[in-house]
Amino acid sequence: MPEITAQLIEQHQLTREEYEKILEILGREPTMTELGIFSVMWSEHCSYKSSRPHLKRFPTQGQGVLQGPGENAGVVEIGDDWVCVFKIESHNHPSFVEPFQGAATGVGGILRDIFTMGARPVAVMDSLRFGPVAEAPEFSPDGTASIHLDQNRRILRGVVSGIAHYGNCFGVPTVGGEAVFEPCYQNNPLVNVFALGLARKDQIFYGRASGPGNPVLYVGAKTGRDGIHGASLLASAEFSGIDGQQKRPNVQVGDPFLEKLLLEACLEVMQTGAIVGIQDMGAAGLTCSTCETGSRAGTGMEIELDKVPQRESGMSPYEILLSESQERMLLVAQRGREQEVVQVFQKWGLDAIEIGAVTEQPTLRVKQHGEVVAEIPNRPLTDDAPVYHRPWAEPKRRVPMEPPVPLASRNGDELREDLMKLLGSPATASKRWITEQYDSMVRTNTVIGPGADAALIRVKETSQGLSMSLDGNGRYCFLDPRRGARLAVAESARNVSVTGAQPLAATNCLNFGNPEKPAILWQFREVVEGIAEACEALSIPITGGNVSFYNETEGKPIYPTPVLGVVGVLQDVERHATLSFKNSGREIWLLGNAQGAQDNKAAHDDFATVFGSSLYAQMILGALWGLPPAVDLDYERRVQACCRRLIAEGLVESAHDVSEGGLAVAMAECCLSGNIGATVNLPPGGNPLELLFAEDPSRIVVSVPVKSLAEVSRIASEYDVSAGAIGTTGGSALKVCEQGKVLWEASLSLMRHPFETALEQALEKVSA
């Protein structure tokens, strides 16, 4: 057995103090195997040691929340004895090192988190961030670092086909998500995968190893040498330039077919009543699942590694325990009913092997060839893992508050060209090239699929709909993390509300740089605070999520990037809205913050300051400055409630959130999606640049039949929300008028071309 040297400790990413603590816990030197176990369990990825004190700030209670953070996924009641189970997780570093398998196993991992709780996964969404894939004047605060278009395209293509490969074969629809492009993600792409499942309320399963004496079963794929130290070396460390190549062996390899069999077998075996607890083997594999299930139940576990199905011979205890081979589960069954469990797995052609038993003593005891190779109390590995109250400090601003160039007024032709450029930028353009590679319809529930504000699926067992949205804006959060986080919650919830659904709860994926740097931890704290404030104001509890730190390569961190996944319920799925204009001759109204209205006090930062956070500033001016817009959360809540009411009463024919690219892009999307033109009248005396491209929050575009106008107006005033006509639908062009004169117009076909082809053109180019 190798001697535990200072170098070995460092290689395991453990500090001197942490090692001292290990000596104290064990009362002796750890074995090499035990050192490995501590290393993964105390990694940032598994222990949340830097984030835990801050995450307590989140509101986690609310109506219908049956399970908040701490389990494999959150559980929320939707009515009629059904629950939805959902969570988001990151797979960022693996996707940079090996885009296809990294993204594929990201999907596999989150799906297991859902079905391990007894829920059948019915929807997946992905929030993806890459470096630029098309030429643009994009600004990066790190200066003009060279943009590697081909590398970014290769990563995107790999990630998308990896997600498609796994999700399509498994048979879960990928119903939505986002794809964002910024230079800061070039060497650190983000792959955040959200999954949602459905279960009956009385059939939820937990990762708890209850009942000493009960058998512990290993099911699913065999254990190999893949993915060892994925959680510690990949997910909990910064990258240097060459790491991408060297760390490839740490990425796992996924088999979606096996996962499909595992799903069916697990759901079937849960029906037998013989299952006490179940947990998937994800990060830190067998180690994490054995000690976490024990810790949650106040028990321990003894396992014999010789019984673990192995793909190759001669694996050491260290390798078996730390392997992150995919598609594996740990089950605790009732003693005496093992055979029922084995039979179900045999039917699906899978191994189910008893590898040990639950013990009274709260210790993880691991044997190989009958000899104890590791013996560690459970709690220090899990709940009592180290927690760090790291220092934080607000960093010096790296971009100015004022525009670097004067915001010149633009004439009609220039404004039209600006819109064309935005529609043709990958950020705004149709994501069809990506989303058509995903099966978005399997399971025949998809009412609103990719390309909308939020997805909507029907629940076959009830008459309800479930709406879900992922949203986040790193640029906003870089300029002001707290405001950016508030905006992310507000927009994700607004996306759900514009389908007609009431937001129920949220999950979040927090992507940041190295938390050991005070500036990064300050960003993190601010974001957590912003999310908490917005979730409280909008009554949306957080039921779980994931923190991904160390998103830095060569010392350059990504923008602080929280991604909010909001889930909402629609009592009658037939009564939903979509963004597309449905008919000509309808009035177009803007709900909330209507032009010239003074009812939203918070949104009155100087236009020149907040415009620096817009997509227009990024894509047209190639600059970044100022602050993101502030959001008045009480106003936001009322705007969303008003919109849901209008949809429920059937008073509006379409509803679309105004977000990146402002009113101009929102209008273009409503027109293109419905293949109906529109005329927009700008109020006199305003600045067209601001009116068309500013990204003020709390705004929703709706189209209203003439007969409903009075009622819409009445309901809006009931919610104390400004609402007014900004134009009419009809024709085959988007026309923008000022005082009765056409300022500019663009035909649908002119707008459609860049919108539909931009991504394809960027990605179908053959890389060198």
Partner 1 sequence: MKFGVVVFPGSNCDHDAFYAVERVLGEQAAFLWHESEELNGCDVVILPGGFSYGDYLRTGAIARFAPIIGAVKKFAGRGGLVLGICNGFQTLMEAGLLPGAMLRNRGLKFICRPVHLRVENAETVFTHACSPGQVLNLPIAHMDGNYYADPATLEALEAAGQVVFRYCQPDGAVSDDANPNGSIHNIAGIINRGGNVLGMMPHPERASELLLGSADGCLLFQSLVQSLRRGLGAGQIASGPAMAATQPR
Minimum distance of partner 1 from residue 345's CB (angstroms): 12
Pairwise CA distance, residues 454 & 504, whole Å: 14
Q: Which of 12, 91, 165, 576 is catalytic?
A: 91
3-class DSSP state for residue 195?
strand
Taking the complex as a whole, the smallest distance from the CB of residue 444 to partner 1 amounts, in Å, to: 4
Return d(Cα 296, Cα 71) in angstroms, integer. 9
DSSP 449: -
Residue type, 199: A
Which residues contribute to the site for partner 1 (CB under 8 A)?
A: 161, 164, 168-171, 255-258, 260-261, 348-349, 436-447, 458, 460, 573-574
Residue number with CB closer to partner 1 (441 or 742): 441
| CA nearest neighbour of 224 among 255, 193, 257, 245 | 255
Question: In one letter, which amino acid is 280?
Answer: D
Cβ 253 to partner 1 shortest distance, Å: 13
Lookup result for tokens 């082809």: 757
Of 141 and 451, nearer to partner 1 (C-beta) is 451
Clarify whether 54 is annotated catalytic: no
Beta bridge partners of 747: 733
Residues counted in the chain: 768
Q: Which two tokens stand for residue 756?
A: 């539909």
**What Cα–Cα distance (Å) separates residue 407 from each residue in 195, 417, 476, 628, 736?**
43, 16, 20, 17, 20
CA distance 47 to 236: 10
Q: Cβ closer to partner 1: 578 or 600?
A: 578
Q: Going by C-beta distance under 8 Å and a sequence separation of 6 or more, which residues neighbour residue 714? A: none
To which residue do tokens 């085959």 refer? Answer: 732
As to burial, measured by CB atoms within 10 angstroms (0-12 exposed, 13-18 middle, 19+ buried), residue 480 is buried
Write the Ramachandran bin of 626: left for phi over 0, alpha for psi from -120 to 50, otherwise beta.
left
Q: What's the closest the beta carbon of residue 36 comes to partner 1, in angstroms?
A: 32
Q: Which is nearer to partner 1, 327 or 690 (CB)?
A: 327
Nearer to partner 1, 169 or 407 (CB): 169
Q: What's phi and psi for 109, nearest 5 deg? A: -65, -45
Per-residue H/E/C for 506-573:
EEEEEECCCCCCHHHHHHHHHHHHHHHHHHHHCCCCEEEEEEECCCEECCEECCCEEEEEEEEEECCC
Residue 673 near residue 734, CB atoms below 8 Å: no
Give 356 or 449: the residue with its C-beta nearer to partner 1.
449
- Which two three-digit tokens encode residue 291? 């000690």
Is 389 annotated in the active site?
Answer: no
Q: How far is the CB of 446 from partner 1 (least distance, A)?
A: 7
Tell the smallest beta-carbon distance from residue 299 to partner 1 (Å): 34
Closest approach of Cβ 168 to partner 1, in Å?
6
Minimum distance, C-beta of residue 121 to partner 1, in the bound complex (Å) = 11
Please report how close the Cβ of residue 160 comes to partner 1 at its closest, in angstroms.
9
Residue 138 phi/psi, 5° resolution? -60, 140
| 236: exposed, middle or buried (Cβ count in 10 Å: 0-12, 13-18, 19+) | buried
| Full 3-state SS string of 596-639 | CCCCCHHHCCCHHHHHHHCHHHHHCCCCCCCCCCCCCHHHHHHH
CB of 433 to partner 1, least distance (A): 9
Q: How far is Cα 353 from Cα 126, in angstroms, rounded to an integer?
A: 34
Q: Of 45, 93, 165, 229, which residue is the catalytic one? A: 45
Shortest approach of partner 1 to residue 439 CB, angstroms? 5
Please work out, in degrees rounded to the nearest 5, the angle formed at the alpha carbon of residue 134 by the alpha carbons of 131 and 137.
85
Do 508 and 542 contact (CB within 8 A), yes or no? yes
Please enumerate in sequence order all residues whose Cβ is within 8 A of that of 689, keeping only pairs 6 or more positions apart, or say none.
407, 409, 410, 415, 611, 616
Closest C-alpha to 130, from 171, 193, 73, 182: 182
Which is closer to partner 1, CB of 240 or CB of 767?
767
Cβ pair 33, 41 in contact under 8 A: no
Nearer to partner 1, 445 or 698 (CB): 445
Residue with Cβ nearer partner 1 (191 or 261): 261
CA distance 743 to 81: 55
Please identify, using beta-carbon distances, which residue of 167 and 661 lies nearer to partner 1: 167
Which residue's CB is nearer to partner 1, number 257 or number 400? 257
- Reduced to 3 states (helix: H, G, I; strand: E, B; else coil), residue 287 is helix
CB of 694 to partner 1, least distance (A): 34
Which CB atom, from 118 or from 294, has the smaller least distance to partner 1? 118
Pick from 64, 689, 82: which is nearest to 419 by CA? 689
Q: Among residues 345, 184, 167, which one has the least CA distance to residue 261?
A: 345
* Alpha helices (H) in 119-171, listed in sequence order: 149-170
Cβ at position 441, least distance to partner 1 in Å: 5
Q: How many of the other CB atoms lie within 10 Å of CB of 239?
A: 21
Query: Based on CB atoms, which residue is closest to partner 1, 106 or 545?
Result: 106
Q: Any idea which residues carry the catalytic annotation?
A: 45, 91
